[in-house]
């Protein structure tokens, strides 16, 4: 197949006319000593503008074979202590984070033409935090979490659906669906946070924060 015959699935690079030619350009990332506060501002703007799942983030881990692994998960809390998500602790990512408690996160908000990268160490959240979040989930979501052997081979989807049906008969839609021991949360404590703001003609703005003691140092990076 010649180059011209290949399916056109990759968009071309933007032409000059497609860039925003406003002389003021997009605003640069503000100088700040508070990267968590800036992240919350960007997250709030994304929630207003994104079509769905503004809290979606790429989670990169180290596989048990030493290879990198990545998937999309949902951010459920962000504080000065770190970024929290929940999962099946016996899943691939759960085992990987237990073995190598380090991770990288990536946020990309197309509507804002922004991204944020985070690198840090990982610790389990408390049992109380896991219980509290699990109780906020829809009943059927809690039931499917109990029924799923996440990341392990599934030879027949009907088997999984049968488990869900049986548990639904037991628990119904009641509030007292217990959190299984194999389900909980992780907190990524950031050591580095980088903010990226799109600018025309690849003159993007990048601001990187590095943890130093109880505070942060920061500096701009070439795009």
List, by residue number, the catalytic residues. 202
Biggest CA pair distance of the chain: 63
- Please calculate the CA angle 114-85-88 and round it to the nearest 5 degrees: 135
Provide the terminal-to-terminal Cα distance of the chain, rounded to the nearest Å: 35
- Please calculate the CA angle 51-38-190 and round it to the nearest 5 degrees: 100
DSSP string, 160-202: HHHHHHHHHHHHTT-S--PPPTTEEEEEEEEEEEEEEE--GGG
User: How far is it, in rounded angstroms, from Cα 93 to Cα 105?
Assistant: 13
Residue 146, SS3?
A: helix
User: How far is it, in rounded angstroms, from Cα 211 to Cα 119?
Assistant: 10
For residue 167, give both structure tokens. Answer: 């548990």
Contacts 24+ apart (CB under 8 A), 169-173: 171/139, 171/142, 171/143, 172/139, 173/139, 173/140
Residue 73, SS3?
A: strand
């Amino acid at each position: 197949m010649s180059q011209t015959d290949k399916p056109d699935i990759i968009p071309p690079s933007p032409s000059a006319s497609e860039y925003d030619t406003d002389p003021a350009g997009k605003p640069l990332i503000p100088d700040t000593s508070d990267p968590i506060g800036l992240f919350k501002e960007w997250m709030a703007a994304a929630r207003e503008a994104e079509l769905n799942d503004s809290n979606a983030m790429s989670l990169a881990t180290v596989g048990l074979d030493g290879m990198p692994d990545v998937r999309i998960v949902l951010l459920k809390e962000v504080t000065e202590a770190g970024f929290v998500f929940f999962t099946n602790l016996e899943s691939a990512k759960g085992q990987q984070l237990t073995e190598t408690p380090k991770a990288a996160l990536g946020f990309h908000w197309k509507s804002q033409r922004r991204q944020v990268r985070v690198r840090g160490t990982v610790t389990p959240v408390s049992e109380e935090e896991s219980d509290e979040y699990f109780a906020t989930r829809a009943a059927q979501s809690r039931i499917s979490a109990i029924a799923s052997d996440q990341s392990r081979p599934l030879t027949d989807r009907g088997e999984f659906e049968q488990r869900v049906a049986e548990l639904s008969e037991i628990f119904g839609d009641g509030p007292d669906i217990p959190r299984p021991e194999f389900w909980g949360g992780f907190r990524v404590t950031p050591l580095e946070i980088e903010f990226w703001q799109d600018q025309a003609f690849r003159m993007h703005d990048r601001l990187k924060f590095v943890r130093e003691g109880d505070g942060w140092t920061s500096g701009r990076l070439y795009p």
